[in-house]
Amino acid sequence: MLKQRSLLVLLRLIFLRKILAYKTAIFHIHKRNVALVTNNMDTVKANNNLYEMFPDLSRCFELIDRGICEKEREHQPIAGINGIKTQMNQVLELIEKMNNETISYTKPTTDNIFYILRKIENWWKNNKLLNSRKAEIFLIALKAECDKFRNMLKNIDNENAT
């Protein structure tokens, strides 16, 4: 009986060590991936490449669209809204360090994007987003404004490169 108990304790210790080693390995992989993404973003920021900082936001648009069209996924729009806000704020942080012409060039478009995001977020908070025709139209406008903003960023990058 004592040998069996000792064997069980030994097996538990081995199992716990394996779990700890696995969790440690996963943590280090995650830490490395975060460092790679951070280093890439730092490089983009150092080069002031605004266009690369503002990626294709189709995944964010998809999350918002799911909240408009599907009852089961009505919790997803906030993730899309926050994703767009995060990307916008990172780019705007760099734009603010540039000259006033750049700020005035992008301001109407960025104001439109944040206005549309606020409207969609308010509909989501008030449970009025699902099957909303207005929200569908605002999402189309949001996509168009974000595309326009990306083109502006490409133009700014091209001007700064010359």
The tens digit of pLDDT for each residue in 109-159 reads: 999 999 999 999 999 999 999 899 999 999 999 999 999 999 999 998 888
Cα angle, residue 99 at apex, residues 97 and 102 outer, rounded to 5°:
100
- On whether both 35 and 99 belong to a single domain, the answer is no
Residues 68 and 117 in one domain: yes
Residues 6+ apart with CB under 8 A from 40: none
What pLDDT, on the 0 to 100 scale, is given for residue 51? 84
Q: How far apart are the first and last CA of the chain?
A: 82
Indicate whether 107 pLDDT > 60.
yes
pLDDT band for 3, please (50, 70, 90 cuts): low
- Alpha helix segments (H runs only) across the chain: 2-46, 50-53, 58-69, 77-95, 100-125, 133-161
The CA angle 150-162-53, to the nearest 5 degrees, is 30
**Structural domains in the chain (count):** 2
Confidence of residue 37 (pLDDT cuts 50, 70, 90): very low
**114 neighbors 106 (Cβ within 8 angstroms):** no
Percent of the chain past pLDDT 70, that is, above it, reads 74
Q: Do 13 and 36 fall into the same domain?
A: yes
* Residue bearing the bigger pLDDT, 41 or 149: 149
Residues 68 and 138 in one domain: yes
Claim to verify: residue 8 and residue 40 sit in the same structural domain:
yes
Q: How far apart are CA 58 and CA 66, in angstroms?
A: 12
Range of the domain at 21: 1-46
